[in-house]
Amino acid sequence: MWRKRRARLQWGEHGDLFLRVFIQRHPDFRIEQHDLHYDLPVAPWEAVLGSKVQIPTPHGTLGLKVPAVTVNHTELRLRGKGLPQGLGDKMGDLYVKVFVEVPESISD
C-alpha cells in the first residue's frame, strides 16, 4: 500500500521563491498590465459604411464589427479577451484602436 509523503528538500530553509519573468514584445499586441492593445487599419469606406473584420487574439481569431461612421483613433473594447489576472477566471480586456488609412494619391 502506497503512502502519501510530502516532498522534502535535504538542504536549505523553507521560504519564498521569487521569479522575474520577462515578456518578449509581440508583433501585433502591446501589453498594459492585463490588457492588450491592437492597432486595426481600415479603409476609408469601411470606416464610413461599417464593416466586419477578423482580428487576431491570444484565443484565436475573432470577428469584430466596426460601426458605421467610425473616426480615426476610435478605441473599441472587447471585455475578457486580454491576459489572465492571477489564478482566477478573470481576464483583462482587448482594446482595438481603429486607424483609417487614407490613400496618398487618388486614381481616376
Question: CA end-to-end span of the chain, whole Å?
Answer: 85
Could you report the average pLDDT of every consecutive run of 10 residues in the chain (108 residues)?
57 80 86 94 94 90 94 94 86 95 81
**Strand 35-42 relative to strand 75-78, pairing:** unpaired
The pTM assigned to this predicted structure is 0.73
Report if residue 13 sits inside a domain: no
* CATH assignment at residue 96: 2.60.260.20
The number of domains in the chain is 1
Q: Report the pLDDT value the prediction gives residue 93, as an integer from 0 to 100.
A: 94
Report if residue 107 sits inside a domain: no
Range of the domain at 81: 29-100
Residue 83: C-alpha distances to residues 33, 56, 59, 63, 93 (Å): 8, 14, 10, 19, 7
Q: How far apart are CA 41 and CA 97, in angstroms?
A: 8
Report if residue 18 sits inside a domain: no
Of 79, 55, 73, the residue nearest 65 (C-alpha): 55
Report if residue 4 sits inside a domain: no
Report if residue 63 sits inside a domain: yes
Q: Which residue has the cell 491592437?
A: 38
Report if residue 108 sits inside a domain: no
